[in-house]
A and B are shown apart, each in its own frame.
Chain A
């Protein structure tokens, strides 16, 4: 078993490095294709040919693209992702100040969403076709279809503007107690959970139902095992693979895609950092963020695959 996992991890790491290289190249090419560059974006209306040329020279944008790419790559390999073009701060510092916030939000959202989603999914699967199952199904489809910005705005209008129970903004820098944390994270997490829980619950339900219709489950039932035991000890371990992958997908979204939540609640995470970087054509920062998301995604999928192998006796050989 250990051999299988070690081989898998090693192979994945090798492929991962190659993927990162390709992704960095693609991102670099795409950002180079965007109209305008950092010098023009920074000067905006005040851009004149001379000032743009001078600023380009300061930024090193007057060098050919492939040279800039190689310089950046060389820096990254030696552990220095460079400086932001727009404000001159080290990219590592910029990301370092935002990443903990993103991770914290992702962790809290996952802690709230995963158990809830698994419970809903498993219970719906056990009582397939019941009123509970149908209600959950309907709620899940509605939650997935309502865009996040609408949920977030409605939540703010209700809980912050009208009821005044919660702050409209998430003031992460002023958290001194557990109560403060609950207040700061309540609405962002609520918004994120709507879509996440619905998606994960539906995937879990499907995976468990798939197993429940298998012959070995029928066998277990015929042997007189109680339904809860059948689901938890017989069907669920076999469903861990697809469930873990569903969870990994949802969590990778939490790492980089919560732009709406960040901007509505003024939460200083990494998604708005990347958005600013793209609109300012701050290529070193865009590249670093993209690499980070890519690494995060690959690690999560790897963890999902490993846990699928560990939980499934047939894959362990």
Chain B
């Protein structure tokens, strides 16, 4: 493990050096030669070059002001990293704060505020912080700030959305001005990745007032009015030299999708997210604008709740999974902006994806067979869908038609988006849900598939799965870990009461004047992090 962590450090150095080279306009061949010489071309170059590939032709320019409109946002907008809920909050937290690590485009953690994170057993971690990092008010970053930022998630009164993760912290203590120790109650080799999420943004020791944001991020908060807008200005003291590029970002939400697209096409805003697949052709046809697709691990699933009535039968669950006409759903609900799913939550681009798992196909004969075996043929069952779960209403209608052919009547109950998550999601025998990607496979499985998780949506209990999950979390051998995750994907695919017909791509749109844009598997808007990377070619 020690080696691996030292590699993190080396890797980070290299990435930085090469990024700087690219920034200075060194030719692609020079960079390749440098990478070749350092001998880790295979592991690094791919991701790195595609990420910066677009910026090659031109050197990033400093300056300029952009306006960005996103779909989510309300008076609940918050600068408290613990409470951040939607993409609007996460983007702000990435602008104003930094984290110990960042999660790169292959979901591998890279060191950020932390210079290194070392462990021998996966449970006791020593974190060394980068020197000379300053908060926006000039105060230097110390380990006390980090300890405060992490430990506050454990306090129920904080209302942290990352409390499930923070429960693993047994003790976090300062061991030096720039050094701290994190003790977990059980080994978790994913800790560096978990600490790279927006919730674990580093704030100043003792912060309780979040009317403004004082962090170490690339932008300073000039104005923040929840539900109205925020204005970010460049932090000239940012710890990554040369970044960010823009002078100012005005950031707000336009919840109405048509209005958001119109604002982009009229030139009022430079960048928008969450474009409906139905408006995608309008944006791609408009001259001067780019429609940008990110393949994220975001999925909408049909949940068959194990402890509620008739759907308990494993044959019924299988019948439902065979009834999913995945291609049709992708075509109708998402106009093709997605990739076919295989009833397990790990997306194909993840390094732990098990490609050996055969794709389940639309098969009405098998569906009929399992339906008969479950004794459910000819029955009528309710199924809950809502616009809250992206695309679920269209998916429900397609499923209803297929089910009819297989001899099952599905009665679609369409619920309002308001209050859906607290009142309907996984509270009926069959309902639709919607899960956004998590930085690690472990977190995805722990939150939504582990027996004792409150968000174990299907309510299934599988001992073998739970054991594998615990073992994989402490496993330092990557190959063994990969095998364990493969086994878990097979178990979920075969037994869990969750059907995942597809992964949904995130669609952003921006003016062609905006450069340096890229894709990230966690979310659109470059995985919330566009502000640090983009620049304006006026």
- A-side residues, CB < 8 A to B, are 34-36, 39-51, 53-55, 57-58, 84, 86-89, 94, 97-98, 153, 156-157, 160-161, 164, 167-169, 173, 263-266, 268, 272-273, 276-277, 279-280, 282, 285
Q: Which residue of A lies closest to B259 (CB)?
A: A264
Give the residue name and chain of the A residue nearest to B161 (CB). A46
Establish whether residues B262 and A160, one from each chain, have CB atoms under 8 Å apart when the complex forms. Answer: yes
Nearest residue (CB) in B for A43 is B161
CA distance A156 to B267 in the complex (A): 12
Nearest CB of A to B424, in Å: 9
> When the two chains form their complex, are residues A87 and B266 in contact, meaning their CB atoms are under 8 A apart?
no
Whether the Cβ atoms of B259 and A156 lie closer than 8 Å is: yes
Complex A-B: 5 CB contacts under 8 Å: A42-B85, A94-B75, A153-B258, A161-B265, A164-B267
Q: Is chain B's binding surface mostly helix, strand, loop or mixed?
A: loop
- Interface size class on chain B is 35 or more
Q: Contact at A285–B75, with CB atoms within 8 Å?
A: yes
Leading 3 A-B pairs by shortest Cβ distance: A54-B156, A160-B266, A40-B422
| Inter-subunit contact B85/A277 (CB<8 Å) | no
Q: Which of B76-84, B472-480, B505-513 contacts A (4 or more CB under 8 A)?
A: B76-84
CB-defined interface of B396-427 with A at 8 Å, one 1/0 digit per residue? 00000000000000000000001101110100
Please tell me if the beta carbons of B256 and A264 are within 8 angstroms of each other in the complex. yes
| Residue B27, interface by CB 8 Å | no
- Quick check: which of B11-19, B221-229, B302-310, B526-534 contacts chain A, the rest being far away? B221-229
The interface bits of chain B over 150-163 (1 if a CB of A lies within 8 angstroms of the residue's CB, else 0) are 00000011011101
Given A54-B156, A280-B76, also A35-B266 (CB < 8 A): no
B419 touches A84 (CB 8 A): no
B422 touching A35 by the CB < 8 A rule? yes
Residues of B within 8 A of A164 (CB): 266-267
B263: contacting residue among A41, A51, A169, A279, CB under 8 A: A169
Q: Which residues from chain A contact B419 at a C-beta distance below 8 Å?
A: 34-36, 40-41
Complex Cα distance, B228 from A173, in Å, reads 11
If A46-B161, A97-B228, A263-B256 touch, whether A156 touches B262 (CB-CB below 8 Å) is: yes
Q: Which residues of A contact B78 (CB under 8 A)?
A: 87
Cβ contacts B213-238/A at 8 Å (1 or 0 each): 00000000000011111000000000
Given A42-B83, A264-B256, A280-B74, are A89 and B226 neighbors across the interface (CB < 8 Å)? yes
Q: Are A97 and B225 CB-contacts (below 8 A) given A86-B75, A276-B74, A276-B75?
A: yes
Q: Which residues of B contact A88 (CB under 8 A)?
A: 210
Partner among B75, B254, B268 whose Cβ is within 8 Å of the Cβ of A273 = B75
Complex CA distance for A49 and B164, rounded to whole angstroms: 12
Nearest CB in chain B: distance from A131 CB, A = 37
Bound complex: CA of A134 vs CA of B418, how far in Å?
44
Closest chain B CB from A13 CB (angstroms): 32
Distance to closest chain B CB from A210 (angstroms): 41
Could you mark each residue 58-89 of chain B with 1 if its beta carbon is under 8 Å from any beta carbon of chain A, else 0? 00000000000100001111100001010000
